[in-house]
Structure formats: structure tokens, C-alpha cells
């Protein structure tokens, strides 16, 4: 059985896109999938990389093309619920610590599914603790417990070590996928992963 790794941070629309397409792969292609929460800011710091919005700041035509690419991806995969987050960029530290806690408690995928709604479907300012709390409660997540866990040194340390290990494995951004240890960066590589999975 093929193994698919998915490194993510809620920070980028591309994490939403990646998740929405890949989540069906285990059933569709009989593969295993493992989600690993990492901190995109930490990856950028360790690799000396920059967010695309900074990298391409002031570059003519680039934003328009990026919107077109998003449109095409949305249409292809029928991700009609997607909405750009008006508070972008949202600092995802708390949400990502929550993801580590959810992972430790065995419900990471459920957590991802729910938090993505608040980031990229009914977008909110998800770096405001009050907003996070209300959103979590709305989704039936244990907000009080999760917000405590976000301060847990073990959770904090695990997010850091996830991020460090990701960089050691070759990451410089997200979403990044590994299919049986071969690295694929960005949502626009998903078709290759799908091609391999569907033919094996």
C-alpha cells in the first residue's frame, strides 16, 4: 500500500486546496495518508525562504495569474465553498498547536476538516483567541481543552520538532507531499501523485 505524507499549515489557501483533494485518496486509491502539522513561518525562517506575497510583492501580472490559477483549481475540483480569507495573512501558531494536540488525541483529520472551514470557507480572523474559541465551539471542538493544550510545552515542542524534521526532509514551503518518500511541492503537483496512485 502506497504511503502519502501531507505537510500542512492552515496559513495558505493551497493547504485548503491540497487537503480537499487529497482527503479522498485513501478510499479512492487504497493508500495510506498521514497529515503532519508544521509551522510555515518556521520553515521560511530555517530555509531562508519567503512567503510568495513577499517574494512577489509588486510584481506586475503575478497576482492576476495567481487568481486565475486558483479559479482553475477551484473549478476543476469543484471546491465552490472556498473563500479568500479577508484577514490574510492570519498567524496560525495557535491553530497549528491545536492541530498537534488533536493529533496527540487521535482526531487530527476531524480537526483539520473543521478548522479549514473557519479559515477558507467561512473565513474569520483565526489568530484572535476569542474568534478561535467561538469557531471551535461552533464546530463542536472542545475549545477550552484545546486552548489549554496550546500552552502545553509538549505540544509547543512537538510543533517545533515536526517543523525541523520537515526541513530536514527537504521542505521549503507548503503544501508538500511525499509519495513513498518522493517529494512533491505545491497543489499543482497533485495530478502527478494521482496519476501514480491510479496506475498502481
Binding site for a second copy (CB under 8 A): 46-49, 55-56, 58-62, 64-65, 68, 72, 167, 170-172, 182-183, 185, 188-189, 191-192
> DSSP alpha helices (H): ranges in the chain?
13-22, 25-29, 40-47, 52-55, 62-77, 93-104, 108-120, 129-138, 143-149, 153-169, 190-198
Comparing CA positions, the residue from 98, 148, 144 lying closest to residue 118 is 98
- Joined together, the cell numbers standing for residue 11 give 496559513
Q: Which is nearer to a second copy, 159 or 190 (CB)?
A: 190
Give the single-character DSSP code of 89. S
Closer to a second copy by CB, 58 or 106: give it.
58
Whichever of 56 and 82 has its CB closer to a second copy, that residue is 56
Nearer to a second copy, 160 or 167 (CB): 167
3-state secondary structure of 140: coil
Min separation Cβ 112 and a second copy, Å: 24
Question: Which among 15, 80, 73, 109 has a CA at the least distance from the CA of 191?
Answer: 73
By beta-carbon proximity to a second copy, the closer residue of 147 and 183 is: 183
Of 175, 160, 188, whose CA–CA distance to 4 is shortest? 175
Task: Kindly state the smallest distance separating residue 62's Cβ from a second copy, in Å.
Answer: 5
For residue 103, give the C-alpha cell.
493529533
User: Please, what is the minimum distance in Å from the beta carbon of residue 70 to a second copy?
Assistant: 13
| Nearest distance in Å: CB 51, a second copy | 12
CB of 29 to a second copy, least distance (A): 18
Amino acid at each position: 500500500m502506497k504511503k502519502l505524507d501531507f505537510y500542512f499549515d492552515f496559513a495558505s489557501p493551497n493547504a485548503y486546496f491540497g487537503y480537499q483533494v487529497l482527503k479522498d485518496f485513501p478510499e479512492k486509491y487504497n493508500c495510506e495518508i498521514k497529515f503532519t502539522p508544521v509551522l510555515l513561518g518556521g520553515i521560511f525562517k530555517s530555509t531562508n525562504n519567503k512567503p510568495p506575497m513577499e517574494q512577489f510583492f509588486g510584481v506586475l501580472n503575478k497576482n492576476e495569474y495567481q487568481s486565475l490559477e486558483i479559479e482553475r483549481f477551484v473549478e476543476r475540483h469543484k471546491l465552490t465553498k472556498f473563500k479568500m480569507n479577508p484577514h490574510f495573512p492570519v498567524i496560525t501558531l495557535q491553530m497549528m498547536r491545536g492541530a498537534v494536540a488533536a493529533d496527540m488525541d487521535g482526531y487530527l483529520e476531524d480537526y483539520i476538516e473543521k478548522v479549514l472551514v473557519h479559515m477558507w470557507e467561512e473565513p474569520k480572523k483565526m489568530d484572535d483567541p476569542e474568534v478561535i474559541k467561538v469557531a471551535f465551539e461552533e464546530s463542536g471542538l472542545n475549545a477550552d481543552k484545546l486552548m489549554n493544550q496550546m500552552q502545553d510545552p509538549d505540544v509547543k515542542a512537538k510543533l517545533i520538532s515536526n517543523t525541523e524534521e520537515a526541513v530536514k526532509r527537504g521542505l521549503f514551503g507548503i503544501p508538500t507531499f511525499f509519495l513513498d518518500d518522493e517529494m512533491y511541492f505545491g497543489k499543482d503537483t497533485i495530478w502527478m501523485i494521482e496519476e501514480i496512485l491510479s496506475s498502481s
